[in-house]
Amino acid sequence: MKKGKSLRTVAITLAVIAALLLLAAGAVKINDLIRRNEDRSLMERFGLYHPVDGGGSDLNLISYGNADGHTIVCLSGLAVEDMCITYRDMTDELARDNRIVFIDRAGYGMSDDSMTPMTVGNIVDSYRTALANEGIKGPVILVAHSLGGVYATYWQSHFPSEVEGLVLLDSTQLRDGIFEGDTLRNGHNMQEILLNKLGLYRIGEDRPEKSIEEGAGLEDERTRKILSYRMTLTGLWNFAMNSEYDLIRDNCSKTWNSIETNDIPKLYICATWASETEQKYIDARNNILMPYLQKMGNARLALLAGEHLIYEQRPADCARLIKELIDTV
């Protein structure tokens, strides 16, 4: 009899603990949903949230500038989730005469997460679908940084009628056997993703957006930093970016092998390999970068020594070079 009572007590205790855990998880998730909604409202306030169907999930598509000029579509590098903010020192100059379009792929910034494998074909199709659904017609000028250059290269090679110019900002240098033997570190794992989906990482987080002054705009550096932080936090640890990391090698290889030479004007702005005195960088340009550009065709190399995020370090110089390419299309 005592044994039965003990078992019932244990069962009741476990049931109560389970119920409390469920209630706690529910409260955490509700807080997460509230905070995500606050993030969307904050981004809307600054014109940084505009979801467009990319074919199964919504992508954040932001445009500004002169709609009567060329359309410049910007693609971010790996894990750069605040492109529509950090590119502005470069694109504001271009926006006087051209329309600037930022599209965040699935899992980035304010775009939806997605369970669809992030193959290069799927990524490019989602970009193209979002543009079509927004009523933005090509041909466009693609401006892509780092890994975004892989997607841009695939795009202009497979759909050349949609692209009138290509600018690669220190982008991934494609070649035979790229990343073979390298250990590509995936900064995500399933446990972190699940914690993110539950909303645990938002517990006790700072809320610097509350200190944004009324009337502040994107020209204010402090406001930009706050918005970048919120946008980066929103996109942490998700299925889409996890898939993108896992598919980097395959996507690079597929893009390299499927390049079709064409006459679309192209510009590669080389930053990290730009040294004209260090032999290792001279060799890298001659043996890796130049064959890549020659395979694409009609590509010019511009040396602009600096950091990988060259559009932040030397935005005016990047804008000047992009203008030079625009004059050729």
Strand partners, 144: 75, 168
pTM for the whole thing? 0.92
8 Å CB contact between 217 and 235: no
**Fold observed for domain 46-188+238-326:** Rossmann fold (3.40.50)
Predicted pLDDT at 217: 86
As to burial, measured by CB atoms within 10 angstroms (0-12 exposed, 13-18 middle, 19+ buried), residue 192 is middle
Asked if residues 102 and 62 have their Cβ atoms less than 8 Å apart, the reply is yes
Ordered by start, the domain boundaries in the chain are: 46-188+238-326
Angle formed by the axes of helices 190-198 and 2-45, nearest 10°: 80
CB 82 within 8 A of CB 74: no
**CA–CA separation, 77 vs 172, rounded Å?**
9
pLDDT averaged per 10 residues, the chain (length 329): 68 81 80 85 93 96 96 96 96 97 96 96 98 96 98 98 98 90 69 82 72 83 90 83 92 97 98 96 96 98 97 98 97
| C-alpha–C-alpha distance, residues 102 and 258, integer Å | 26
What is the side-by-side order of every strand in the sheet holding 140-145?
51-53, 58-65, 99-103, 71-75, 140-145, 163-169, 266-270, 299-303
What pLDDT is recorded for position 195?
82
Count of all residues that appear for the chain in the document: 329
Please choose, from the candidates 123, 141, 164, the residue with its C-alpha nearest in 3D space to the C-alpha of residue 71. Answer: 141
